Amino acid sequence: MDSGHTAWVLVASAFVFLMTPGLAFFYGGLVRAKNLVNTIMLSFMSIAVVSIIWVLWGYTLSFSDGGPLQRWVGGLSEFGLSGISTDANDGYSILAFVAFQMMFAIITPALITGALVERFKISTYLVFLLLWITLVYAPICHWVWGGGWLSDLGALDFAGGTVIHINAGVAAVAAAFLLGKRRNPGRQPNNVPYVVLGAAILWFGWFGFNAGSQLAADGIASSAFLVTNTAAATAALTWGVVSQIKNGKMGAVGVATGAVAGLVAITPAAGFVGIYGALAIGLGAGVLCFFAVDLINSTGLDDALDVFAVHGIGGIWGAIATGIFAVEAIGGTAGLIEGNWEQVLIQFYAVAATLVYSGIVTLVILKILDLIPGLGLRASESDENIGLDISQHGEQASVDDGAD
């Protein structure tokens, strides 16, 4: 076992864990004050619920041998992590890999919550987490990283463009569609500093997200670290400049959102592209995601915190751009720029498969939950009016008790 590789994977796992609290602040700052606690709790409960699911059956469905179903999903041979030792695998501890992948599973459904904030029942959300990780996340993860059919096809996804961001983005569309619009939605974020703080924590954690996906402390990890930062910086600047030109203002929320869009887009490409590719990916993310926000909002779909515009569109662009800008000398696979046009086609297949499967299965899961007596998707009108902090949790984010 290489202690350096194992140490890096464990540290990267902690980086990625921090991203979910960062997301909680990012989303929490964007909603109305009366829903701040609830929005943060949606991310926090993903940590609690998915952590348990992962060590029991999430990991084995994602990464174990699925036998006759190997192309589609893993088996249950490692249920409860049975049979997994502390031995090394390619230099790093297998259990370190389990922990690292668990952090990916945790944040993915938390991303979806940006589409359903201010109106989704917390009790139903807990059941949704269980079903969605089992029926949507684990199979798609297996397709790409567990030896499934997209892996066999040669699809490139270094750190989760399809598995995480496109997956969560289209699931968010399904949730927003079934839930309908919020009642009297707010127009302004309740706490802009929370949004910027959350984006900064996400940016920090993303170094573990992308560089950690190399599973080794080596040159590819270093390259992934640098291109991650480059794409995020480029997208943040691009979003700000486009906003200044279009609206005459460069808002902090917009620039922070642009940074997240750049991070999303570079995720599938981080171990395959160089600095010039990262600049192009960041530029594309800044422009495409900026205009996607307005376009999707014009449809009437209440994707409250623009999950699809940022994670869906950013993930789609990043996945396709990986096929365009991949450098054989970096990741071992050439892209369109180096003459391999087939890789772009493969990336399109992966994007389409993820969109179709995740979208349909998420719709089915949510529709069934909505029909179960005692569950249902949406909080009552009175609960929404007083705010989910009080109605769902009996707490408020800030209370003036009148004390001197």
Say how many CA atoms lie within 13 Å of 242 toward its Cβ: 22
Domain boundaries, the chain: 3-393
Mind giving me the DSSP string for 235-280? HHHHHHHHHHHHHS---HHHHHHHHHHHHHHHTTTTTT--HHHHHH
pLDDT on residue 212 = 97
In the chain, the N- to C-terminal Cα span, in Å, equals: 59
Calculate mean pLDDT across residues 230-246. 98
By C-alpha distance, which of 357, 362, 275, 273 is closest to 318? 273
Q: Tell me the per-residue pLDDT of 165-197, one tens digit each, with 9 for 90 and over.
A: 999 999 999 999 999 999 888 778 999 999 999
SS3 category, 378: strand
Dihedral sign of CA atoms 32, 181, 378, 43 in order: negative
By C-alpha distance, which of 40, 149, 124, 99 is closest to 395? 40
By C-alpha distance, which of 46, 109, 29, 39 is closest to 389? 39
From CA 347, how far away is CA 344, in angstroms rounded?
5
By C-alpha distance, which of 163, 51, 183 is closest to 117? 183
From CA 331, how far away is CA 223, in angstroms rounded?
10
Say how many CA atoms lie within 13 Å of 108 toward its Cβ: 33
Check pLDDT > 60 for residue 403: no
By C-alpha distance, which of 93, 80, 82 is closest to 13? 93
Six token digits for residue 178: 């079934």
Residue by residue, what is the 3-state secondary structure of 87-119?
CEECCEEHHHHHHHHHHHHHHHHHHHHHHCCCC
Which H or E run contains 28?
helix 3-30
By C-alpha distance, which of 64, 91, 63, 83 is closest to 1? 91
Mean pLDDT of the chain: 96
pLDDT on residue 84 = 87
Provide the percentage of residues in the chain whose pLDDT is more than 90. Answer: 93
CATH number belonging to domain 3-393: 1.10.3430.10
Calculate mean pLDDT across residues 130-155. 98
Confidence of residue 404 (pLDDT cuts 50, 70, 90): very low
Confidence of residue 382 (pLDDT cuts 50, 70, 90): very high
Provide the percentage of residues in the chain whose pLDDT is more than 70. Answer: 98
Check pLDDT > 90 for residue 205: yes
Least confident of 66-75, 81-90, 149-158, 232-241: 81-90
Residue 90 CA: distances (Å) to CA of 1, 86, 93, 108, 197: 8, 13, 8, 26, 36
Six token digits for residue 58: 């999430």
pLDDT on residue 184 = 81
Q: Tell me the per-residue pLDDT of 1-27, one tens digit each, with 9 for 90 and over.
A: 788 999 999 999 999 999 999 999 999
